[in-house]
Amino acid sequence: MDLLIKETAKILKESDFTIAFTGAGISVESGVPPFRGEHGLWNKYNPEVLDLGYYLDHAEKCWGYIREIFYDFFADAKPNPAHLVLAKMEEAGLLQAVITQNIDNLHHEAGNKEVYEFHGNSKKLKCLKCGSVYDVNEVDLESLPPLCKKDSEILKPDFIFFGEGIPHEAYSNSFAAAERAKVCLIIGSTGEVTPASYVPRTAKQSGATIIEINPEESMFTSQITDIHLKGKASEILTKLSSELF
């Protein structure tokens, strides 16, 4: 493993355009539960509450679950060492963009500036009628459902529900970065969710070296991964950090 870490650090130092593609696995260590898998939220909750069509018809009912899942459970989550290393890499010019499937805002809180949130951000609420966007801290979630101050419409969390399209800007920025990438770090993503999982595949097709950081093999491992650093995100990125800085 130590040799692989050294080799990876060398590849990262030589790259002039590196992207990180992150999934639920990077945030689990911050206490954010994943949606899928053995301990996933969908084992406890019905995914229907995040289906756009169902939500539009039953927004008041859905908001009780939404508050519990997104604003009670992991409202206090803080960036972990893996997030902080990525921020340090960007600051040092070793990382040009983070493309994340996560909606927890932790990359921003860690200090990354160039973050493309493929599935939106739970810390923002949006009025579907007038388009106003609110920071969640501006909104009283004790009284549900939260309403727009301008037109009293029910606010929707500004992340992607089932049946909803990927935000155009995040989508185009992500694939543009993937096409430019010389190195793509995959961190904590299993590759099950499309179209997000096409981002590292696009990087590979464009000639990038794919470095995967995951505790287990994923759908990427045998198909596109060049180097698999097997372990938790914080552990591996901390080791990488000591070689990079």
Q: Which amino acids are annotated catalytic? A: 119
Phi, psi of 117 (to 5 degrees): -90, 100
What is the number of other CB atoms lying within 10 angstroms of the CB of residue 216? 9
Query: Would you say 101 and 118 are in contact if contact means Cβ atoms under 8 Å apart?
Result: yes
Neighbour-count burial for 83-122, b at 16+ CB within 10 Å, e otherwise? bbbbbbbbeeebbbbbbbbbbbbbbbbbebeebbbbbbbb
Say how many Å lie between the first and final Cα of the chain, rounded. Answer: 19
